[in-house]
Amino acid sequence: MEDTDMASPPSSFRAASHSTAPPPSVTSSQTQPSQQLSQQQQPTEAKQKARSKRVVKDGYIYQPYKDYSHHGHDHEGRGLGTDGEESLSSKDSNQASATRILELSGLERRIVQLLETAGQAIQILSGDVDGEDKDDEETGKRLLSAASLSQEARQAMAKSYAEERAKKFETLAAGYATLVNEIQSGLRRQFHYLTKAGISSSQVPFKNVVYGEEKELETWLNAVDVLKASTNGLIERVENELLSPGPRKAPGAETAATEAASGAPPLPSSSSSSLEAL
């Protein structure tokens, strides 16, 4: 049975060791150093595998995008990442989904932290900082009570106060850049997985959306098309009936036709003439 432990030496190393096996005439004492060397290599490879990922405190596994996109193959032909693990195509789907949910949760926390960091940096630049540290408050009080000091002393205190705020801003700016890098890498990994699975937004046609705002917009557009077609048909029918040339009817023909349809007796001619006189 073939050994599949990732901490063991690869098959090429084992094949080389078998091909260079000592002849029977060599004593067993000469093969002991090689066995000790292989035993020492096993914990070293395990440590390197453990150091391939950097785990953040909140459980989010941060990896650069290059570690997610480059894949190799082991001696059995399975797809491997740069850290020696199997690719997502050979992992269990439930485990992969749980990992993606954990990564998205970590990304959400980092986005919130990114907004907070940007807000604090803007407050430092504007000079309106809420919730300052006690050291900053004491420094401000010293600046206000420095009227009895000389001008050089007041300038030195103001300079030290400005330097402290500048250092805080530099710290916030460095943290902001780090958060942007982690968020960008995480989003690229998510988009790479969706593209690989064939369910990215760029590959989903607009007509196949069955829920959400896009489906509602499509429904309203279809309703507008139906109303437009009905209105055009009504306008065309009115134009054909009223504007088309044809024989004109007599003045009393339309009235007689209406009375015949209603079943009322026709009015006498005298009454008709009196109505016309009126």
Q: Are 74 and 190 in a shared domain?
A: yes
Q: Are 88 and 191 in a shared domain?
A: yes
Q: Domain residues for 15?
A: 8-19+33-51
The answer to whether position 242 is within a domain reads no
Q: Are 172 and 214 in a shared domain?
A: no
Residues 181, 185, 188, 194, CA torsion sign = negative
Tokens of 238: 């009115």
Spatial distance between the Cα atoms of 184 and 102, rounded to a whole number of angstroms: 16
The answer to whether position 177 is within a domain reads yes
Q: What is the largest CA-CA distance in the chain?
A: 148
Mean pLDDT of 35-62: 50
Nearest of 87, 65, 69 to residue 78 by alpha carbon: 87
Which of 146, 174, 199 marks a domain boundary?
A: 199
Nearest of 105, 102, 127, 125 to residue 176 by alpha carbon: 125
C-alpha atoms less than 13 angstroms from C-alpha of 276 in its C-beta half-sphere: 9
Question: What type of residue is 74?
Answer: D
Residues in contact with 8: Cβ distance below 8 Å, sequence separation at least 6, in sequence order: 42
The answer to whether position 277 is within a domain reads no
Q: Are 56 and 174 in a shared domain?
A: yes
Q: Are 80 and 213 in a shared domain?
A: no
Q: Are 63 and 176 in a shared domain?
A: yes
Question: What type of residue is 168?
Answer: K
Q: Are 56 and 40 in a shared domain?
A: no
User: How far separated are the first and last CA of the chain, in Å rounded?
Assistant: 119
Beta bridge partners of 54: 62
Mean pLDDT of 184-208: 67
Q: Are 70 and 194 in a shared domain?
A: yes
pLDDT bucket at 234, cuts 50 / 70 / 90: confident
Nearest of 67, 80, 102 to residue 88 by alpha carbon: 80
Residue 88 has pLDDT above 70, yes or no: no
- To the question of pTM greater than 0.85 for the whole model, the response is no
The answer to whether position 65 is within a domain reads yes
The answer to whether position 275 is within a domain reads no
Q: Residue 242: what pLDDT?
A: 82
Q: Are 103 and 150 in a shared domain?
A: yes
The answer to whether position 134 is within a domain reads yes
Nearest of 203, 182, 197, 206 to residue 103 by alpha carbon: 182
Residue 8 has pLDDT above 80, yes or no: no
Which of 175, 199, 223 marks a domain boundary?
A: 199
Spatial distance between the Cα atoms of 99 and 62, rounded to a whole number of angstroms: 11
* CB burial of residue 157 (10 Å; 0-12, 13-18, 19+): middle
Spatial distance between the Cα atoms of 90 and 80, rounded to a whole number of angstroms: 9
* Helical H segments across 145-199, by residue range: 151-197
Lowest mean pLDDT among 23-27, 117-121, 123-127: 23-27
The answer to whether position 237 is within a domain reads no
The answer to whether position 60 is within a domain reads yes
Higher pLDDT, 233 or 50: 233
Q: Are 121 and 160 in a shared domain?
A: yes
Q: Residue 54: what pLDDT?
A: 43
**Structural domain count of the chain:** 3
Total length of the chain = 278
Q: Residue 76: what pLDDT?
A: 39
Residues 227, 229, 234, 236, CA torsion sign = positive
Q: Are 57 and 165 in a shared domain?
A: yes
Can you say whether residue 235 is alpha, beta or left, with left for phi > 0 and alpha for psi between -120 and 50 degrees? alpha
Nearest of 188, 186, 189, 183 to residue 117 by alpha carbon: 183
Q: Are 141 and 160 in a shared domain?
A: yes
